Amino acid sequence: MDFSLTFEQRAIRDTVRDFVNKEVRPLEAEVLRRERRHEPGLEPGELRELQLKAKEFGFWGLATPEEYGGMELPAITQSLIFTELGRTFVPFVFGGDADNILFYADERQKREYLLPTIAGERRSCFAITEPGAGSDAANIKLSARRDGGDWILKGEKTFITGGNEADFAIVIAVTDKEKGAREGATAFLVDRDMGWTSEFIQTMGEGGPASLIFDDVRVPAENILGEVGSGFKLGMEWIGKGRYLIPSTALGIAERALQMAIEHALNRETFGKPIAVNQAIQWMIADSEVELEAARLLILRAAWIVDQGGDPRHASAMAKLYGAEMVNNVVDRVMQIHGGMGYTRELPIERWYRQVRLFRIFEGTDEMQRLIISRDLLRGYTKLGQEPS
């Protein structure tokens, strides 16, 4: 059993870390200032400029197949990169990627949607969640009915990431009510200029998702993604792929925050001594380190299973559950160690505090992860102590 990274993995991780430290982290003060004024942390042009800088040394399309100009990196390497990006709260992501299910597009759809998205010329969002169907995705109601050679979409989607900025949406709609969403849903590629609108949803975090309104939006049949009736399957593939990347980001946040706590504990004095000498502070730091490292192993194990071609659902559910809880615990302790200063907006700790709370909700709540894990064990899909496969 070898826990060391390969030379290539270390080189990529260190290159990303250097890029983040030199090009991204210097923007943190300005990003905080903008967010306090309810402005975007990065303007689209600024994000694009950073992405093109990264492209100059090869970082473009982390998960995109090489045939489309991407890096097609292994899951473990992607996890390492997301951890490095998590070390800064600047909303930066590398360019050149597209929703994984967009690769099911036919040739025309690839020219019109996939390739421009990879190139950064178009922006997409994925829309499955509805006001009455969050974790219960099989209960979606947004309908699509035939009208000649077109389909008419009617209903609402909510909490859609990127829905305010997207110029097209991948929408999962019910096309056969009798079969229900699991067998009677279909994925549609729907341009914004076809008639759907978005409404900003204010949250406790920075930025915000959107509600998408479809009021008899006409979509040509040629814009069906995949086959009629395959929408739910595609939706689950979208949700499941890369679930280990969410706690990978959490890992980076926890590492950065814990380092801040260590430095503060060594420099902050009370009663003539650094607070680092206090056992209460030491135990918070120790507990955070133990949980952080446990999360790292769960996350990398899930990524390793992906790279081995195995079924990562059980391992990813454990990584998502534990990683989300871990980062919430660590950031809470870091705020406690900083005392009143941690509660102010002079430091990014309160921002992380609000940001990481979402990790226990989106892309599968804690409760859903526990349901997946327990169901796998109770139904015999996974055996205790069994090697991953």
Give catalytic residues, as residue numbers: 363
Give the three-class secondary structure for 189. strand
The β-bridge partners of 384 are none
Please, are residues 331 and 257 in contact by the beta-carbon 8 Å criterion?
Answer: yes
- Secondary structure in 3-state letters for 307-373: HCCCCCHHHHHHHHHHHHHHHHHHHHHHHHHHCHHHHCCCCCHHHHHHHHHHHHCCCCCHHHHHHHH
Residue 333 near residue 342, CB atoms below 8 Å: no
For 386, other C-beta atoms within 10 Å of its C-beta total 8
Q: Which of 35, 190, 174 is nearest to 112 (CA)?
A: 190
CA-to-CA separations, 176 to 158, 181, 186, 218, 226, in angstroms, rounded: 22, 8, 9, 17, 16
Instruction: Looking at the chain, list the stretches that DSSP marks H as alpha helix, in order from N- to C-terminal side.
Output: 7-19, 28-36, 44-56, 75-86, 107-109, 115-118, 180-184, 231-240, 245-267, 279-307, 313-338, 340-343, 349-357, 366-378
Pairing verdict, β 210-220 and 197-200 = antiparallel
CB atoms within 10 A of CB 301: 17
**Given the DSSP bridges, would you call strands 124-127 and 168-174 parallel, antiparallel or unpaired?**
parallel
Token pair of 152 as six digits = 């008419």
CB of 345 within 8 A of CB of 206? no
Query: Which residue bears the tokens 């930066």?
Result: 92
